[in-house]
Chains A and B, each alone.
Chain A
Amino acid sequence: MKPSDNKFDVIVVGGGHAGAEAALASARLGVKTALVSQDKYAIARMSCNPAIGGLAKGQIVREIDVLGGIVGLAADAAGLQFKLLNRSKGRSVWSPRAQTDKRVYESYVLHLVETSENLTLLRGEVVDIIDKNYSVSGVILRNGERLASNTVVITCGTFLNGLIHIGNRKILAGRMGESNSVGITESLTRRGIKSGRLKTGTPPRLFKESVNWEKLDTVAGDENPVPFSYRTKNFNPPNIPCHIAKTNSLCHEIIYNDIERAPLFSGDIFSKGPRYCPSIEDKIFRFAHHESHTLFLEPEWRDSDQIYVNGFASSLPEDVQLNALRQVSGLEKAEFLRPGYAIEYDFFPPAQLKATLESKFINGLYFAGQINGTSGYEEASGQGLVAGINAAKLFLRQKPLTLRRDEAYIGVLIDDLITKDTMEPYRMFTSRAEHRLLLRYSNADQRLAEKAKQYGLISDKFYDFLFNKLQATERLVENLNKCVSPNEINGTLSDINGTTIKHSQPARQILKRPGIKLAHLPKRFTENNDHSNFDKHIIDEIHTEAETIIKYAGYIVRQYEQIERLKSQDKLSIPRDFNYLSINSLSNEAREKLDFVKPETLGQAIRVSGVTPADVGVLSVMLYKSK
């Protein structure tokens, strides 16, 4: 190797969802990037469920897409079935999800990584970082080789000191069958960065042939699927069903009788697991009155002989898992390809990061993904994208990208991470966003296209497309100020039991009524709107958005007013060296929490857990004093 071969502008450690997104984002910004992974065939590996998107996560995928990321494109390419969830509920919680072919997904991303300009994929295990005067300057591999770079993104997933539990069996691994990674945690804690331990789990995989499929119901996707990515062309996915099985009392009894053998119950595991994704033993223990739990049998890839048993995460001994599962109708002869397991791993409490995902202690060192205490491919990808962009921006000496809570779920995600205590792996929920109504999957472009352009994250062509789409939406909304006459609309109104009108009225007034859709209005409102160059699903989305903007106008204004009120607090920055411990008027809890978190702005300080409005009042006075 020539010396220059070992020198990069940005190094990304780990090639999971966060790592791949980070490396690609950095490379797109034109800086020389290295992606270091133990195994090139594990790039963007879907370790757990074979699906992308879902409630709140689908919105994140859309945001990543508008910011130039790839998870949406990959999911569209790999999708086995697509579904827009929550269709019967409110518009802001409509969320796209796809069951995906893991192999296609992984090879799609690998292909992008291998063919991307400015990006080098290196095989190796990083065991240490090199730093000087609180700035990172490179990494050291297990074989002693050194790579130089002033910006490093750490995305090690569950690999750091990963420990798998199956009953009382313990295996050192990062994922089943892949060795874990030792050294980075120790290297970072030596430098004063705090670490913690979390736990997550995954269900068993079954041999396809061992399932009696005849006995199971099927669930298919939507008949008119919508792609995640605005850039996906020729979208024509299959609609491959998954299957539903139901647990029963016999199954529950077997688990209940041996529940002590699960490491969480026996006391082998102390780390906190995700409550939103409980193991089957946990569900049976805590909700004993539930007679049955639904299991989804999902293929891991097209024609896969490996079946994912969604809903049966477990760390019970293999024999108990298998025995219990065999009580379920259709699974009487089930055979494991591998049992479910729990895994414990190191994470670094993310309150030690800035909103850019850069460490507050070591310049140039970024963290993204599960090591920040999150869970989920989408959460990891979103962080990876932001960390990768900002690593490149740091090298380029350009302004870093931060996202606000009111403009993206990724903004909510990162702000929560850096201000709140991490008690369990963090998963996005729409209810975490106080401005949920503004964060729709169908308006990610409205929210983020300008920023994407401003930071140079997307091509002119893509931006122009988004711009045209937004213009079309605005024109349509404007158009709906025009009036409809009683003649035109009363027929429709009486058909759906609505009150008829006596005089002409602006169309938007009619549209505001419950149950009225754009399609109920005369065709002239939608027809003369020059949509000809858009695909049908884009036109549908323009219509949905126009409807939403009008129907929710009052609430949308309310949310914007709230945002305005809070904005000044987020503008007021707090010096890094601000001494909280010396302010006696702060409550003890606030003093300690603020000293640990070291918020960057007054807005962040307010959201730190345990900080009261009185503390914020004191803080703002002291901030003025220090100015």
Chain B
Amino acid sequence: MNYDTIVAPATPYGIGGIAVVRLSGPQSLLIVNKLINNNDLRLKLKPRHATLVNLQDENSVAIDESIVTFFETPNSYTGEDLIEISCHGSPVVVDKIISTCCHFGARIADPGEFTKRAFINGKMDLVQAEAVASLIHSQSVESSQLNLRLLHGELSTKLNNLRQKLIDAVSMVEFELDISEDELQPDLNSHVLAIVAEQSQQIHELLSSYKQARMLNHGALVVIAGPPNVGKSTLLNTLSETDRAITSNLPGTTRDTIDVPLLLDGVPINLVDTAGIRQTVEELEQKGVNRTFNYLKKADLIILVHDPGEVETLYYNYPKNVPIIKIMNKVDLLTKTELDSIQTSHSKQLLISAKTGFNIKLLKQQIKTSLRISSSLSDNITITTSRQQRALKQCFNNINTTIELLNSQRSAYELISIELREALDAIGAILGKTTPDDILNNIFNQFCVGK
């Protein structure tokens, strides 16, 4: 039994009361001790005792107050030394704990790996082997489907583009090392540098977007907008199940924005009601409209409300990169026939009644789906899991070393190749493996090889 130590969240991703992170492997105790801030508690974790500790990262910055429980081999789920950390249920805290554990030598577990270890260490019946195998399979299928969903938009394009650029850079290098028998091309350095410098910038942006983790930390910004008097404030009240917004049948009742934080089935959002958008001469109302515009620019999701009486007039260009749910409110005022006809003529709009609650459940569903599925929650926030973040960090380090090597004028292209391949391997953790054949194929496609 000579395994490395693995770490992974044991609870689902998202906001909850408590989240559990598990470590398993011979280094578990050693690693967790390094996270514990309280000197007196270090090295004193007793098996099967829950201990309240303060956790800190590798730079001694506090992470969270957590309960740590140590299960000594062989009396644990996996049969190895295993530690469960119960922390506060914020993805930011969970990710921080995991990345600190990784910093001290743990590795993020593969899908099903805890169970696999439990099986290998004889903690499970042999007849469960098939079950474990199919679990690994289903989890990896699930996670790849999840990845696909996460990756179907901009992030996927971005990463694939990044990968292709890196393959191009490696190909240039490999063509020189592997195929060309001529002297080194003088402009190879600048060509490779141009590619990797741009990619370094790209990854930097992706990474900083993750650091903010704004949406999950402070909630997604969901803005209700639309012309005056279509029932925006009523919708806010219905969704938040409060009476925060004053409603009336007079257009322009809402002059300021109203901001309600709420959990929509566990997804934190800030729901904002805005002043109706119309041309107005009144100064106060104009200010409210301006504020609306500012909110729209920042929004993670826009709920655009109309009512059956309102002709859809586009006097404002809504931000292009923000997902929009278009709804038609007040359908309770319609007769059955009108409802049917409007359903066909406005098929892209969700018909609801904020007043009666008609289709509100469906709207909530759509809000959740839009927030999760679209990778363009905002232009910045694109990476969402600690696995992606670690992969990109690794990639970032490799690329920066590449840049250093290129700038040192050492023409150490074989080292550059190692760095770039490791960068590709890192991205491979998200997109799938890049093999030597992928690189050779690219060389054969792009360069005229052979004497």
Contacts and interface: CB of A to CB of B under 8 A. Distances in A.
Interface residues of B, number: 49
A286 B450 CA distance: 13
Interface in A288-344: 290, 293-296, 310-311, 313
B137 A310 contact: no
B414 A283 contact: no
B448 A290 contact: yes
B178 A430 contact: yes
A514 B409 contact: yes
A585 interface: yes
B133 A89 contact: no
B110 A275 contact: no
Contacts of B415: 90, 437, 552, 555
B414 A583 contact: no
Nearest to A283: B448
A620 B435 CA distance: 22
A287 B448 contact: yes
Nearest to A284: B448
B330 interface: no
Interface string B211-234: 000000000000000000000000
B181 interface: yes
A485 interface: no
A621 B417 contact: no
Interface in A205-235: none
Contact of B120 (A93, A290, A313, A624): A624
Interface in A549-565: 552, 555, 558-559
A531 interface: no
Nearest to A558: B418
B448 A293 contact: yes
Contact of B132 (A275, A514, A609, A621): A621
Contact of A431 (B111, B126, B134, B440): B440
A584 B134 contact: yes
A125 to B, nearest CB: 33
B414 A89 contact: yes
B451 A310 contact: yes
B176 to A, nearest CB: 6
A622 interface: yes
A47 interface: no
Interface residues of A, number: 56
Nearest to B409: A514
A559 B110 CA distance: 23
A311 B451 CA distance: 4
B263 interface: no
B183 A88 contact: yes
Contacts of A144: none
A609 B437 CA distance: 10
B185 to A, nearest CB: 10
Contacts of B140: 612-614, 617
Given A420-B437, A622-B133, 7 more contacts: A55-B181, A90-B414, A434-B436, A436-B418, A555-B415, A622-B129, A624-B129
Contact of B136 (A56, A617, A625): A617
Contacts of A420: 437
Interface string A219-262: 00000000000000000000000000000000000000000000
Interface of B: 2, 110-113, 116, 119-120, 126, 129-130, 132-134, 136-137, 140-141, 144, 174, 176-179, 181, 183-184, 408-415, 417-418, 421, 432, 435-437, 439-440, 444, 448-451
Contacts of A295: 451
A383 interface: no
A137 B2 CA distance: 44
B451 A431 contact: no
Contacts of A283: 448, 450
Contacts of B408: 514
Contacts, number: 132
Interface in A57-116: 85-86, 88-93
Given A431-B439, A621-B133, A622-B129, A613 B110 contact: yes
Given A88-B183, A93-B178, A275 B439 contact: no
A592 B418 CA distance: 32
A618 interface: yes
B450 A311 contact: yes
B179 A618 contact: no
Nearest to B412: A90
Candidate in A89, A295, A625 with the most chain B CB atoms within 10 angstroms: A89
Contacts of B409: 514
A617 B110 contact: yes
A141 interface: no
Contacts of A586: 137
Interface string A486-518: 000000000000000000000000000011000
B116 A617 contact: yes
Contact of A618 (B136, B181, B414, B436): B136
Contacts of B119: 621, 624
A555 B401 CA distance: 12
A247 to B, nearest CB: 12
A89 B450 contact: no
B413 A625 contact: no
Contacts of A482: none
A286 B134 CA distance: 47
B53 to A, nearest CB: 31
Contact of B184 (A89, A287, A614): A89
A124 interface: no
A269 interface: no
A558 to B, nearest CB: 8
A617 B111 contact: yes
A239 B166 CA distance: 41
B137 to A, nearest CB: 4
A620 B116 contact: yes
B113 A85 contact: no
A277 interface: yes
